[in-house]
Amino acid sequence: MNEHPFAEYIRILGKGKKGSRPLTQQEAYQAMRMIMRDQVEEIQLGAFLMLMRVKEETPEELAGFVAAVKESLPQSPEVNVDLDWSSYAGKRRHLPWFLLAALLLAENNVKVFMHGAEGHTAGRIYTRDVLKELGIDDAHSIDESVIQLQQHNFSYLSLEFFCPKLYQMINLRPLMGLRSPVHTLVRLLNPFNATHTIQGIFHPGYRQVHQKAALLLNLPHMAVLKGEGGETERNPDMDCLLQSVHEGQLSDELWPALFEKRHIKPDVLEPRQLLSLWQGGFQDEFAEATIVGTTAVALHLLGKADNQSDAHQTAEMYWKNRNKQKFL
């Protein structure tokens, strides 16, 4: 029996402590290309994903994976997206206040494309479900996202509708019991090739992996932070290290905590509080600081503020002057 072509990549990763090594960027590209073309057996896919999970991805592997996946994505119509915003983690300790930051940017003429996946981890609140609570329709195709972006400066599109293969793979988590490289690479997909991308991660060690992968992928402007719960959301109770890429240059910037003491997480998460907070019927200093702080980080990334102080002042002005009667 002839060896399957994909066996080579499993062997590279799994040949023991002394014999195994990471994939090169080109090898990672070729391996993911085969996966996206359904040229891999299910047992091989499971072995590959778990070997990668144990080893953890290098920037070169991540860049190769992303490049292969992007080749398989539907052709994006011409639309200038200002900010690509990934939302794949879901929230379980706090509400997804970052959604109001994204909507605040959209209200102020920043085109925000948000993409994510839902349901892969039990006990979490996902973006698509919360948007429904807010009365905001998610898109069901790239073309529908274009219309929403043109009309409202905001669109959320689930991975299910623009890369079903990866959506199937990300939902293997309940079966495997572990996350896989898919949870990492989806954050870098940037389907509309926006000039600026922002990502949140949970494990601090992944910040630099995302940063260096973005450099290898030639992303013009990218920022990654350890977000609350793993989402793209600044936690105002903690110092926030922002690691970025700007036109081929790496940079690290510390955004200090906005409070001296940490807030107690709520006993129950009530998504309707997002609408109430936006309309002014509910007040929460942690929530408002999260929204303003996250907006400030995005404004600085976008080049709409020269420094942290200016970014915060602009974000606070946006929040104070928001249209409380509607979102979009």
Summarised one tens digit per residue, pLDDT across range 13-31 is 999 888 999 999 999 999 9
Q: Are strands 112-116 and 249-255 parallel, antiparallel or unpaired?
A: unpaired
Burial class (CB in 10 A: 0-12, 13-18, 19+), 21: exposed
Instruction: For the chain, give every domain's residue range.
Output: 7-55, 83-320
pTM recorded for the entire structure = 0.95
Residue pair 95/136 in contact by the 8 Å Cβ criterion: no
Q: Is the pLDDT of residue 328 over 90?
A: no
- Give the least confident one: 24-28, 267-271, 319-323: 267-271
What is the model's pLDDT at position 217?
97
pLDDT of res. 174: 86
Q: Which residue has the higher pLDDT, 78 or 231?
A: 231
Buried b (16+ CB within 10 A) or exposed e, 265-299: eeeebebebbbebbeeeeebebbbbbbbbbbbbbb
Segments in the chain forming alpha helices (H): 7-14, 16-19, 25-36, 42-55, 59-72, 98-107, 127-133, 142-152, 159-162, 164-170, 173-176, 181-185, 206-216, 272-279, 285-301, 308-320
**How confident is the model at residue 109, as a pLDDT?**
97
221: its two tokens: 């402007």
Residue 222: phi, psi to the nearest 5? -140, 140
β-pairing, 154-158 with 240-246? unpaired
pLDDT value of residue 18: 87
Q: What is the dihedral of CA 222, 223, 226, 227, to 10 degrees?
A: -90
Read off the pLDDT of residues 140-149 as tens digits, 9 standing for 90 and up.
999 999 999 9
pLDDT at 1 over 80: no
pLDDT-derived band at 178, boundaries 50, 70, 90: confident
Question: Which CATH number is correct for 83-320, 3.40.50.300, 3.40.50.620, 3.40.50.720, 3.40.1030.10?
Answer: 3.40.1030.10
More confident call, 113 vs 76: 113
Average of per-residue pLDDT values in the chain: 95
- pLDDT (mean) for 235-264: 96
Question: Residue 237: which of 317, 319, 293 has the closest Cα?
Answer: 293
User: At 32, is the pLDDT very low, low, confident or very high (cuts 50, 70, 90)?
Assistant: very high
Residue 226 has pLDDT above 90, yes or no: yes
- pLDDT of 276 higher than 90: yes
Q: Which two tokens stand for residue 291?
A: 């929204």
How high is the pLDDT of residue 123?
82
Rounded mean pLDDT, 211-223: 97
